[in-house]
């Protein structure tokens, strides 16, 4: 190509060593790296130049964005997607919106700003399922003693599955996006509920009087989880600027109930020397640290807040939030079975979980959460609730080329360039 001009510039040592390995002369080596540098510059100019091809659609003329490196599907800068799809401080790498199911699946192989969010939960789910199957062979889950552990395992898989679905179909339409992410909050609720039920039954100190009030505490914890799911879902329609803080605070009461049994056990260990489980002692504190790391990435939006546009694909805060959450869950999957086995003889004298006092309330909470999502989806379809950045019309909710609130003169994946006024 004409931009691959010959160069006599001396090549740096590392590149010269590479050229010597493949037996390329100094002048040809300099020319080669000059050519590669020019290609890199042209590729970056093409990615930043915005739309490239004008294509005809059934609804008019739309402007297609630059092709992605993987999969051949386009990604778009922030200015060319509807406000409802924009994430704070993420400036590029957005998917085309209002896409088909097949395109949603195809985008899993495209390098865009949500692809790591999908794979960071879907791949662990594929690892956890066979691992939990192996663990179930050594733990007789049909025994009522292991019901709390079963609830936690179910919640771990549920939140990873719901999160994967939300990030997979998040660009399908406004309606599908909001319903999927409200279901994602139900998944988080289920893992909080499962973890809290386990801690209440298997982590309290043996001398605690709270064993006499286990069922009321179970109901209180499940109620806190439902309230958290409600406020998490409503944050998609209200409190736009504080939505991430609202979601974190909504789950805080459930987290306090979840962490209280372990805190009481550690205080008992420090004061009386009892209830200490040394093989997993340090791992519990590491899990608490990971919990606050999860919250930090979710609320702070760091690192993309510090350098908008530099962490659009990886590693932005939501992907780091996913990775730290997966690390936390994996560690708990390793810790909890050991704790249960070590304390089993003593706990059998204190707790007697049953289907009616544990599994049934847990299932009722899940059903209430799913009914809540369906009810909010109904209000969403009727136009009673309007997501952030979406027009108040029902057609804009279901997608289409007119879903951008303010038409862009540059076009984009979801909007039509404004028509010229007739003379």
Question: What is the enclosing helix (H) or strand (E) of 57?
Answer: strand 53-57
Phi, psi for 63 (deg, rounded to 5): -105, 120
Q: Give the integer Cα–Cα distance in Å for 131 and 183.
A: 25
Q: Is 316 annotated as a binding residue?
A: no
Q: Is 112 annotated as a binding residue?
A: no
Phi, psi for 153 (deg, rounded to 5): -60, -40
197 close to 334: Cβ distance less than 8 angstroms: no
**Residues comprising the chain, all counted:** 423
Q: Give the integer Cα–Cα distance in Å for 269 and 290.
A: 22
Q: Is 282 annotated as a binding residue?
A: no
Locate all alpha helices (DSSP H) within 171-311, ordered by sequence: 174-202, 214-234, 243-250, 252-272, 278-300
Q: Give the integer Cα–Cα distance in Å for 204 and 313.
A: 42
Residue in the structure block whose two tokens are 């909080």? 192
Q: Give the integer Cα–Cα distance in Å for 374 and 416.
A: 32
List the binding residues. Answer: 167, 318, 322
- Residue positions in the annotated binding site for Zn(2+)? 167, 318, 322
């Amino acid at each position: 190509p004409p931009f691959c001009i010959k160069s006599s510039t001396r090549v740096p040592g590392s590149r010269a060593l590479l050229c010597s390995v493949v037996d390329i002369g100094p002048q040809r080596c300099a020319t080669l790296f000059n050519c590669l540098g020019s290609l890199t510059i042209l590729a970056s100019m093409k990615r930043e130049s915005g739309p490239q091809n004008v294509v005809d659609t059934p609804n008019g003329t739309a402007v297609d964005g630059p092709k992605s490196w993987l999969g051949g599907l386009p990604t778009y800068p922030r200015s060319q997607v509807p406000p409802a799809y924009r994430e704070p401080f993420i400036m590029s790498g957005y998917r085309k919106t209002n896409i088909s199911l097949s395109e949603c699946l195809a985008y899993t192989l495209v390098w865009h700003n949500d692809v790591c969010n999908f794979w960071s939960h879907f791949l662990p789910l594929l690892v956890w399922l066979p691992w939990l199957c192996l663990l179930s062979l050594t733990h007789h889950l049909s025994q009522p003693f292991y019901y709390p552990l079963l609830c936690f395992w179910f919640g771990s898989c549920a939140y990873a599955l719901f999160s994967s679905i939300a990030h997979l179909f998040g660009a399908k339409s406004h309606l599908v996006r909001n319903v999927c992410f409200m279901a994602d909050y139900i998944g988080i609720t289920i893992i909080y509920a499962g973890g809290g039920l386990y801690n209440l039954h298997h982590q309290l100190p043996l001398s605690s009087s709270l064993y006499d009030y286990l069922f009321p505490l179970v109901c209180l914890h499940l109620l806190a989880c439902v309230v958290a799911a409600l406020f998490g879902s409503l944050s998609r329609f209200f409190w736009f600027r504080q939505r991430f803080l609202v979601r974190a605070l909504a789950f805080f009461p459930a987290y306090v109930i979840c962490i209280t049994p372990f805190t009481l056990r550690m205080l008992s260990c420090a004061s009386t020397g009892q209830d200490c489980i040394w093989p997993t002692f340090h791992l519990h504190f590491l899990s608490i640290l990971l919990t606050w790391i999860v919250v930090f990435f979710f609320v702070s939006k760091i690192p993309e807040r510090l350098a908008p546009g530099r962490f659009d694909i990886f590693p932005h805060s939501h992907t780091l939030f996913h990775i730290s959450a997966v690390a936390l869950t994996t560690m708990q999957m390793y810790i909890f079975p050991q704790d249960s086995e070590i304390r089993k003889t003593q706990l059998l004298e204190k707790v007697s979980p049953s289907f009616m006092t544990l599994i049934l309330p847990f299932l009722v909470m899940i059903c209430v959460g799913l009914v809540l999502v369906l009810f909010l989806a109904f209000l969403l379809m009727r136009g009673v609730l309007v997501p952030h950045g979406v027009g108040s019309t029902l057609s804009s909710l279901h997608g289409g080329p007119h879903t951008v609130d303010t038409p862009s003169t540059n076009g984009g994946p979801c909007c039509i360039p404004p028509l010229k006024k007739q003379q």
